[in-house]
Amino acid sequence: MNADRPGNASENPRRKARGKKTGPASRNIKPGSRPALKMLTTTLWEYPSQHYDASDGSTMQGDKNYTGATPSWVIWQLLQRYTREKDLIVDPMCGSGTTMDVARDLKRRALGYDLSPTRTDIFRADARKLPLEDAKADFVFIDPPYSTHVDYSDDPRCIGKLDAASDDGGQDYYNAMKTVIDEIHRVLKDRRYMALYVSDSWKKRKGTQQGTPGTFMPIGFELFNLLQQRFIAVDIICVVRHNTKLKRGNWHKAAEQGNFFMRGFNYLFIMKKVMDRPTR
């Protein structure tokens, strides 16, 4: 759905060759700048800032100081494509409220839940059991914990306390996420869309053999498999990360010397609920 789709998004390759680089993948993006948002048309998404300048003049969606906040422009792209004005947008793990702010900026309605609400318009709830009737949401966005990389709260139900690198292959983490995905399926209307934003993870292990300095957790692939049990895959987007660690020379040196990679991208899985599809 393209409620606010800009005019002609097609590109003339010859015009591009003459050097007008405005696309997201062009390498002349100034870090921290905030070019006007326009709909991205490839599966590689990049924007130089975490936030965008909203229509009401505000310059931040959610809270830039919230560890693990989602880049608001990612949610903007999704809502532009898959929702219309007045649609109900639900975020079951709302954190600092980024999804709600973007939804309201685009004149959508928003419902946000979290185990540890950071503001009064977010309801306290476990994403595995949302206080919402079946088939109410027009779109669901979720950015869950990526294993134990951030300490979100003291609530023992926080999925960020479950280690995806545990000896049993992260069973508790994946079982919890499976229940969250089932719950998203329940609250979403038929033939509507959801998106899950996530990164793989890598954890340094003490005392391991040289050459195996840590454990890689393919969280993206594992969650995509779980999503496919309930939804139809619409697309997979690669979102370039611009976090502060990636700017630090000492981290790059450690990655080189320790023979590991820092996460350079997040997955964005876009899925559709289709009730009468054949089961996998």
| Beta carbons within 10 angstroms of residue 39's beta carbon | 13
Contact between 70 and ligand SAM (CB under 6 A)? Answer: yes
| Least distance from ligand SAM to the Cβ atom of residue 75, Å | 8
Name the one range near ligand SAM by CB under 6 A: 11-19, 76-84, 93-101, 103-111: 93-101
157 forms part of the interface with ligand SAM (CB under 6 A): yes
Phi, psi of 192 (to 5 degrees): -110, 175
Burial of 123 (0-12, 13-18, 19+ CB in 10 A): middle
- Sign for the CA dihedral angle at 131, 133, 139, 143 comes to positive
Q: Is 158 in the site for ligand SAM (CB under 6 A)?
A: yes
Q: Where are the alpha helices (DSSP H) in the chain?
A: 13-17, 72-82, 98-105, 171-187, 219-230, 249-257
Binding residue (CB under 6 A) for ligand SAM from 24, 95, 170, 220:
95
Query: Applying CB under 6 A, which part among 78-86, 138-146, 183-191, 205-213 lies near ligand SAM?
Result: 138-146
Please identify which residue in 24, 62, 170, 220 interacts with ligand SAM, judged by CB under 6 A: 62
Q: Could you tell me the two tokens for 167?
A: 């000896």
State phi, psi for 169 to the nearest 5 degrees. Answer: 80, 25
Q: Which strands make up the sheet holding 122-124, listed edge to edge?
A: 44-45, 232-240, 265-272, 188-198, 137-142, 88-91, 109-114, 122-124
Q: Give the CA angle between residues 37, 42, 45 to the nearest 5°.
A: 55
Nearer to ligand SAM, 9 or 246 (CB): 246
Q: Which of 23, 38, 66, 234 binds ligand SAM (CB under 6 A)?
A: 66
List 87, 114, 138, 200, residue binding ligand SAM (CB under 6 A): 114
Residue 160 interacts with ligand SAM (CB under 6 A)? yes
User: Across 226-277, where does the E strand assignment appear?
Assistant: 232-240, 265-272
In the bound state with ligand SAM, the residue whose beta carbon lies nearer, of 80 and 199, is 199
Residue of the chain from 98, 147, 148, 201 that contacts ligand SAM (CB under 6 A):
98
- Kindly state the smallest distance separating residue 203's Cβ from ligand SAM, in Å: 17
Site size for ligand SAM (CB under 6 A): 27
Q: Which two tokens stand for residue 187?
A: 């609250």
Other residues' Cβ atoms within 10 Å of the Cβ of residue 44: 13
| 86 close to 73: Cβ distance less than 8 angstroms | no
Q: Which of residues 172-231 bind ligand SAM (CB under 6 A)?
A: none
Closer of 159 and 194 to ligand SAM (Cβ): 159
**Length, in residues, of the chain:** 280
Determine if 266 is a binding residue for ligand SAM (CB under 6 A).
no
Smallest gap from residue 120 Cβ to ligand SAM (A) = 15
Tell me which residues touch ligand SAM (CB under 6 A).
62, 66, 68-70, 92-96, 98, 113-116, 126-128, 143-145, 152-153, 157-160
